[in-house]
Amino acid sequence: MIKKFFITGTDTNIGKSTISGILLKKASNFGYITAGYKPISSGVKKHKHITSDINKKKYQFINEDTCILQKNSSIYLTDKEINPISFFENAPPNILSLINKKNIEKKHLSLGLKKLALKSNWILIEGAGGWYTPISNQYTFSDWVQEEKLKVILIVGIKLGCMNHAILTEKSIFSDNLICIGWIANNIFPENKYTAYYIQTLLSYIKSPLLGIVPYLKNINEIDVNKINIKLPE
């Protein structure tokens, strides 16, 4: 049976890709054939291009999140397999779709997911922004997640305002008749005197189980997943 999970967050830039990378590695350590999937991305940086030929060294502009998912998947996947729809600029998908005259259709997202399911048995799908990020003027990312009936993992970036965002997001997931399989507290800033209170308050309000607390990570490129205490979702 293929396991598929959708990663959403309380906001943009709260560490969805970093957490996705950690979960992919942990699943791989458990023996799963893992694949990261970023259906839609925006914004690119210069990166060393990963190819199946280790002797080839090539640089190109690709999305940062795509690189993280590619690096941490247990099988080799091309940029396009991981990220079929990409935009050079960094802005909401529906706006970039309109400006670039590049329609985003839910069937294209589903097609990419089906292709990965032929190669792997544990797939982590990373959304864009928060739960109701529009991907067109007709539907949001959550509409596609509903169609695919994906289990959801909520990443909470611990910062001022996160409690309201987390509670609202979980309620929205439930109202869409989906399962929130758990949430992860991600310390995107160095811990302060309020950090423990944020998490304790969220434990009182969030009905989904806490899968783990990720400490503040100075360098995400040097993460030892064995030292990150996150429960692998079932």
> pLDDT tens per residue, the chain (234 residues)?
899 999 999 998 999 999 999 999 999 999 999 999 999 998 887 656 555 555 555 666 778 999 999 999 999 999 999 999 999 988 999 999 999 999 999 999 999 999 999 999 999 999 999 999 999 999 999 999 999 999 999 999 999 999 999 999 999 999 999 999 999 999 999 999 999 999 999 999 999 999 999 999 887 666 788 889 999 998
Catalytic residue IDs: 38
Relative to beta strand 45-49, strand 58-62 is antiparallel
Structure tokens at 47: 């990166």
Site of tokens 């003027």 = 137
Structural domains present in the chain: 3-40+64-86+104-227 (3.40.50.300)
Q: pTM of the entire structure?
A: 0.91
Straight-line distance from the first to the last Cα atom of the chain, in angstroms, rounded to the nearest whole number: 12
Cβ atoms of 13 and 162 within 8 Å: the answer is no
